[in-house]
Amino acid sequence: MTASHTVHFISLGCPKNRVDSEVMLGVARKAGYEHVGAPEEAEVIVINTCGFIGEAKKESIDTILEMAQHKEGGRCQRLVVAGCLSQRHPDELAAEIPEVDHFLGSSDMLRLGDILAGGAERMLVGNPAEWVVKSSDPRTLSTPGGSAYVKIAEGCNRTCSFCVIPDMRGKQRSRLEADVVREVEQLAAAGVREVNLISQDTVAWGRDLPSADRTSLARLVERVADVPGIRWVRVFYLYPETLDDDLIEVIAHHPRVVRYVDMPLQHAADAMLRRMRRGHGGDRLRRVVSKLRDRIPDLTFRTAFIVGHPGETEEEFEELCEFIRWAEFERVGVFRYSPEDGSRSASMEGAVPDRIAERRHRKLMTLQRKISHKKSTGLIGRELEVLVEGQSDEHEYVLMGRHAGQAPDIDGQVYLSGGEARPGEMRRVLVTQASHYDLVGELLGDGEPARPMPAPARGRVSLRVVQTDGRTSQSS
């Protein structure tokens, strides 16, 4: 179909939101809309919002107001707001931002088609528990090179004190194993080499399925990794409970599952973990970390922590610092606590002043930077396999890619010199320099040819993505 209309997308927040944005991109393309990188050229602007923490909500509202200006000074005829923020605050947003023409919730991605067809109501926010992505849904990829996210479940059944995700996304709904594998087969046929499995609580995948359809996460990961053409499979958002030995074995020894664990731990002090309603104490976390280090050779361990949660004492914060010194995680994200309406922690006593939370955030990041630099410089002189993503965003004449220990968007890059390479190629690289998060490497040999990428009609698009911590990336 020849595109006769234009649409511009902005995706805010986490990779799960990015998959939703890609589904809406697919819906728009199916409706005959061409995606444009400049909002001033678009007849329709779609913003997929994040409502996870205060900074993300502010980013979402600021972006909506920024894009609303294009209704006066650009081609924009319709402004559409979708995602978690509109799911959680639909009436308030509708009253305060009249420039928005349509609202979609966190499970209403396919209803963008109704809006583009014309005549749709302004408020189309539905029940967040009514949808889970399927392999049959239209989707246009926005991740660079040969990488893609695959969402294996929606929603969450946890009751963490600081989190309102179950209110925004509903209870957990796992996809069937066969449907996940079918989507990965489609992605592999389109040239994807790396699959990143994501959900809100990945370790709980399948528990909500009928017994006849239930299988293990280890089996799902193995089946995905066995799809012809897939070279890397990465698993995100593992909850720190007792991990299945079969899953550890798959991560440790399957040749196409990267030795990378993403497990948000949130804190290390027993009292803080109880306040956070995490269901375990610091001793279990140490046992889990030790077990994974012992069982998975050359492991890259990514985690996340919250500082400034109500009740956090200086002693508990120092216990967290000591835990990080002991564990020496390769990757750490640190978030300042954000009080969310409706969360259990919002009504807790012992609020931590902002200045103290900020000081703790700086101290933790400074501590982790030293560890990260030690880990990065330890790679100098090693040969690594790198997935080539394309031209660097920062250096016009430099290529960039990622090694298996670098997840998309969040873990840094490998800048490549000494030869030519194409996006989607897997290349051997000699690491020659290192910073805290990025590496510089020299291309070795000709490498394995890239697999054919999608035809132009199904090609990737450049999508403006703003992550939860406020960093912006432009992918293509």
Domain boundary among 353, 377, 401: 377
Tell me, yes or no, whether 316 and 441 share the same domain. no
Tell me, yes or no, whether 301 and 401 share the same domain. no
Tell me, yes or no, whether 257 and 299 share the same domain. yes
Across the range 203-207, mean pLDDT stands at: 93
At residue 150, the 3 state secondary structure works out as strand
Tell me, yes or no, whether 247 and 180 share the same domain. yes
Predicted confidence (pLDDT) at residue 452 exceeds the cutoff of 70: no
Across the range 335-343, mean pLDDT stands at: 88
Q: What is the pLDDT of residue 56?
A: 77
Whether 469 is covered by a domain: the verdict is no
Whole-number Cα distances in Å, 303 to 52, 332, 410, 460: 17, 5, 12, 30
Tell me, yes or no, whether 320 and 428 share the same domain. no
247 has which bridge partners? none
Predicted confidence (pLDDT) at residue 265 exceeds the cutoff of 80: yes
Tell me the percentage of the chain whose pLDDT exceeds 70.
Answer: 92
Higher pLDDT, 256 or 462: 256
Give the CATH number for residue 307: 3.80.30.20
Q: Lowest-confidence range among 22-36, 125-139, 448-462?
A: 448-462
Tell me, yes or no, whether 222 and 338 share the same domain. yes
Q: What is the pLDDT of residue 313?
A: 97
Whether 454 is covered by a domain: the verdict is no
Tell me, yes or no, whether 220 and 354 share the same domain. yes
What are the DSSP calls for 172-217, one per residue?
-EEPPHHHHHHHHHHHHHTT--EEEEE-SSGGGTTTTS-GGG---H
Whether 470 is covered by a domain: the verdict is no
Looking at the whole model, is its pTM more than 0.85? yes
What are the DSSP calls for 306-347, one per residue?
EES-TT--HHHHHHHHHHHHHH--SEEEEEE----TT-GGGG
List all residues 6 or more positions away from 354 whose beta carbon is below 8 Å from its beta carbon: 308, 336
Predicted confidence (pLDDT) at residue 46 exceeds the cutoff of 90: yes
Binding residues for [4Fe-4S] cluster: 14, 50, 84, 156, 160, 163
Tell me, yes or no, whether 340 and 417 share the same domain. no
H-assigned helices in 31-127: 54-68, 70-73, 84-88, 90-96, 112-117
Question: CA-CA distance, 302 to 311, in Å (whole number)?
Answer: 26
Render the burial of 422-457: b for 16+ CB within 10 Å, e for the rest: ebbbbbbbbbeebeebbbbbebeeebeebbebeeee
Residue-wise pLDDT for 192-201, tens only, equals: 999 999 999 9
Give the CATH number for residue 410: 2.40.50.140
Asked if residues 155 and 138 have their Cβ atoms less than 8 Å apart, the reply is: no
Predicted confidence (pLDDT) at residue 154 exceeds the cutoff of 60: yes
Number of residues written out for the chain: 476
The single-letter DSSP state of residue 41 is G
Tell me, yes or no, whether 25 and 73 share the same domain. yes
Question: CA-CA distance, 258 to 264, in Å (whole number)?
Answer: 18
Q: Lowest-confidence range among 117-126, 224-233, 455-464?
A: 455-464
User: For 142, what's the count of Cα atoms within 13 Å in the CB-facing half-sphere?
Assistant: 28
Tell me the percentage of the chain whose pLDDT exceeds 90.
Answer: 72
Higher pLDDT, 456 or 427: 427
CA dihedral sign, ordered 164, 168, 173, 179: negative
Tell me, yes or no, whether 74 and 196 share the same domain. no
Tell me, yes or no, whether 301 and 363 share the same domain. yes
Number of domains in the chain: 3
Which of the four pLDDT bands, split at 50, 70 and 90, describes residue 461? low
Give the CATH number for residue 42: 3.40.50.12160
Higher pLDDT, 37 or 226: 226
Q: What is the pLDDT of residue 467?
A: 59
Q: Lowest-confidence range among 41-55, 192-206, 310-324?
A: 41-55
Whether 83 is covered by a domain: the verdict is yes
Q: Which own/partner pairs from 176-179 qualify as long-range (CB within 8 Å, at least 24 positions apart)?
A: 176/209, 176/213, 177/206, 177/213, 177/215, 177/219, 177/220, 177/223, 179/134, 179/135
> Quick one: how many helices (H) and strands (E) in the chain?
14, 21
Query: What are the tokens at 320?
Result: 């967290």
Whole-number Cα distances in Å, 42 to 4, 34, 77, 340: 11, 9, 8, 34
The single-letter DSSP state of residue 71 is H
The domain in which residue 260 lies consists of 147-377
Element (H, E) at 452: none
Tell me, yes or no, whether 354 and 324 share the same domain. yes
Question: CA-CA distance, 419 to 399, in Å (whole number)?
Answer: 9
Binding residues: 14, 50, 84, 156, 160, 163
